[in-house]
Amino acid sequence: MAFTLPLFIISIGGIFCEGSGVINLALEGLLGMGAFFGGFIVALLTSSFVDSQSALVYISLFAAMVGGALFAMLYALIVLKLQANQVISGVVINMLSVSLTAFLTNQLNISIFGQSSNKFMLFVFPRVTVPFISNIPIIGAFFTDVYVFEFIIVIIALIMAYILYKTPFGMRLRACGDNPQSVAAAGQNVTHIRLIAILISGAMSGLGGMCFAYSISTNFSPSIFVGYGYLAIAAYIFGNWKISNTLLACLIFGFARSIGYFLVQQLSLPSSYSDLVLTFPYVLTLILLLFFSKSNKAPRALGEIYDKGKR
């Protein structure tokens, strides 16, 4: 679940963005930049003063959301204002994020700690065990020694689902992805709605990236996020751009990853096989998309540049 839920919240950000009609292949870059902001806040505050480590980890999650949203503004400028190709722009944002975060992390470590490093060391994120429920066979394992950020992600995911499916804004956002001209005819600003959707995708990606940093290696490094943004994209494509179906896809990917590590441990395989295990979710992605991609129905206006004069 520590892998599934961050992947899920990143996918929700992608659903918001693509639901508004904007292709977002930049999720990997957004989650990396968001985690960079969160890691920087931890490093900066640690070097100055440490009042409460538990408070600091939650501050870093908020900083990651802000950082992801700020970096998403660059993507919004490119695809909404300059009307560049959305696919190419997303790939460029990903490449820029990896290079930029590596450079900035190294320079900030030199300035703050006086030594060159492309990593920010993080605290261990708090874990909890839910009383009573944790004693239930099988199900209780999901509530035993779990990261607190898992509960945070579940709450935010429920809020995002409510906004997307139960509010007027969510209805207008989904309409922008199917027929933006009808939204404009109703007196709404399509570009403004799409901008908000892109910012939401940046914030959700930043949150997921920061949670990955805490759960995978307890540090921020540009290399630990490779492939996760694209896996999130595969999850919501397999989920047909629906939040509930996307959760199922993320659970499948999470189980594939966990089962791989379990086999390595049980069969006492060399540690090098752990790298092979990392390919399991991607192999599963190819298999699932091979069978289910034909039945997927993307938003009808996905990838189309909005033209006010088009009817």
Q: What is the pLDDT of residues 228-248, one digit of tens each?
A: 888 899 889 888 899 998 999
Task: Judge whether 216 lies within some domain.
Answer: yes
Residue 285 is predicted with a pLDDT of 75
pLDDT at 44 over 80: no
pLDDT band for 206, please (50, 70, 90 cuts). very high
Residue 261 is predicted with a pLDDT of 73
Task: Judge whether 34 lies within some domain.
Answer: yes
| In 27-176, beta strands by DSSP E | 120-121, 127-128, 146-147
The rounded distance, in Å, linking the Cα atoms of 299 and 281 is 25
Residue 49 is predicted with a pLDDT of 58
Residue 191 is predicted with a pLDDT of 92
Task: Judge whether 8 lies within some domain.
Answer: yes
The rounded distance, in Å, linking the Cα atoms of 270 and 277 is 12
Give the residue-averaged pLDDT of 197-208.
95
Task: Judge whether 305 lies within some domain.
Answer: no
CA angle 271, 98, 90 (to 5 degrees): 115
The rounded distance, in Å, linking the Cα atoms of 213 and 35 is 7
pLDDT at 154 over 60: yes
Give the residue-averaged pLDDT of 144-162.
91
Residue 200 is predicted with a pLDDT of 96
Task: Dig out the tokens for 189 from the structure.
Answer: 């600003």
pLDDT at 112 over 80: no
Q: Number of folded domains in the chain? A: 1
Task: Judge whether 32 lies within some domain.
Answer: yes
Task: Judge whether 275 lies within some domain.
Answer: no
pLDDT band for 173, please (50, 70, 90 cuts). very high
Residue 145 is predicted with a pLDDT of 81
Lowest mean pLDDT among 7-16, 100-109, 118-127, 276-285: 276-285
pLDDT band for 271, please (50, 70, 90 cuts). low
pLDDT at 270 over 90: no
pLDDT at 54 over 70: yes
Q: Do residues 100 and 32 touch, judged by C-beta distance below 8 A?
A: no
Q: Do residues 147 and 126 touch, judged by C-beta distance below 8 A?
A: yes
pLDDT at 225 over 90: no
Write out the H or E segment, with its range, that includes residue 219: strand 219-220
Residue 116 is predicted with a pLDDT of 79
Q: Do residues 226 and 5 touch, judged by C-beta distance below 8 A?
A: no
pLDDT at 195 over 80: yes
Residue type, 152: I
Domain residues for the domain of 209 are: 4-126+143-229
pLDDT at 47 over 60: no
Task: Judge whether 45 lies within some domain.
Answer: yes
Mean pLDDT of the chain: 85
Residue 311 is predicted with a pLDDT of 59
Give the residue-averaged pLDDT of 167-179.
93
Name which residue leads in pLDDT, 287 or 156: 156
Lowest mean pLDDT among 112-126, 141-155, 239-253: 112-126
pLDDT band for 166, please (50, 70, 90 cuts). very high
User: Which are the contacts of 107, defined by CB distance < 8 A and separation ≥ 6?
Assistant: none
pLDDT at 170 over 80: yes
pLDDT at 309 over 70: no
Residue 199 is predicted with a pLDDT of 96
Task: Judge whether 122 lies within some domain.
Answer: yes
Q: Do residues 1 and 146 touch, judged by C-beta distance below 8 A?
A: yes
